[in-house]
Copies of this chain bind each other. A is one copy, B any other.
Amino acid sequence: MIRVGIVGGSGYTGGELLRLLLFHSDCQVVQVTSERFAGKSVSKAHPNLRGTTGLKFCALSQLSPCDVLFLCLPHGRAMESIGDFQSLAPRLVDLSADFRLHSAERYQHWYAGEHSRPDLLGSFVYGVPELHRDALRSAALVACAGCNATASILAVRPLTRRGLVDSIVIDVKAGSSEGGNVSSDASHHPERSGAVRSYRPTGHRHVGEIEQSLGDIPIHFSATSIEMVRGILATCHVFISESLDEKAVWKIYREDYGNEPFVRIVKERSGIHRYPEPKLLAGTNYCDIGFERDPGTDRLVVISAIDNLMKGSAGQAVQCFNIMHGLNETLGLKFPGLHPV
């Protein structure tokens, strides 16, 4: 049994990690920290876990050595203490934004502050298995991707890596759990319920990751909050540089994702589930991807859906964990999602 700890385990990604790892056949959760809930049952913060575990939160200061630490701290906190965490565990999986970007300049540009550990930026593997599976197998340090970045990159990477793309407009629709578990005026139910809020028309930080992964292609990104708790739909308007019919697009996506355990191509001719639908993915680790060619134009619309807390965060982390330990990649991640829901 691999002994794991979760640092910052009272938030939403910490809760998802717990849900996954408590039922994972090859690991044991030995500790989970929360300053606010230290000493209390984890089900106090995560009511879905009632009756499934006797685990209690401990304080950060009580952490003891283990095999893997998952870091679920607010952005900026992991880099401050990364040395301490390295001394506690040989493998770290960071779910924050701290180590996703490989250059200090890029970090400074997108996060408007200096990085405190630029020396380590090159040591983290970016946690998207579909791009970096080989590197993950031997990785000691993993930085999980941002949720919007994950959905965007998986959607268009098969095209960009083949040099088929001139530019992309990515229009993301996102649920409220993206904002974490701290309440605010923006998350107040009477205001947030039913909202269609253009919360980041330009300048979203995840663009830094997307550009880093896709290379030198203009990325135009906007994000809109909609009535949904979990889930992301990324509508990617891809302007292609070559004539591609739908058959050719099918071939490309099948080549790249045909053997991927968590990427499905969803494109049906009829019915009400013709394209990816985030609500079907709640609780799952899937990224569903569909596409439609706009006839007579150079536009290909690629649509991807994920659960932001799963494939966009905790599920991705567990998939990385499985790869890092040479396990079956789907361990602990087999929940197929609900319908209807």
Contact = CB atoms under 8 A, between A and B. Distances in A.
Contacts of A3: none
29 contacts: A19-B336, A47-B339, A48-B339, A49-B339, A50-B266, A50-B288, A169-B171, A171-B235, A173-B226, A177-B340, A183-B185, A187-B187, A189-B193, A190-B229, A191-B340, A193-B193, A194-B227, A196-B279, A197-B275, A198-B233, A198-B235, A201-B301, A220-B237, A220-B297, A222-B235, A226-B228, A227-B228, A229-B340, A283-B338
Q: Which 7 A-B pairs give the minimum distances between C-beta atoms?
A: A190-B340, A183-B188, A202-B294, A227-B227, A189-B192, A48-B339, A201-B301
B237 A222 contact: yes
A229 B341 contact: yes
Contact of A341 (B192, B194, B198, B301): B194
Contacts of A228: 194, 196, 226-227
A303 B305 CA distance: 23
Contact of A169 (B52, B169, B231, B233): B169
Number of copies: 4
Interface string A256-285: 000000001010000111111111101110
A254 to B, nearest CB: 13
A119 B229 CA distance: 50
Given A44-B271, A194-B279, A279-B195, A299 B202 contact: yes
Contacts of A227: 193-194, 226-228
Interface residues of A, number: 89
B220 A294 contact: yes
A290 B222 CA distance: 14
A205 interface: no
A335 interface: yes
B218 A297 contact: yes
Contacts of A274: 198
Interface of A: 12, 15, 19, 22-23, 44, 46-52, 169, 171, 173, 175-177, 179, 181-198, 201-203, 218, 220, 222, 224, 226-231, 233, 235, 237, 264, 266, 271-280, 282-284, 286, 288, 290, 292-295, 297, 299, 301, 303, 305, 334-341
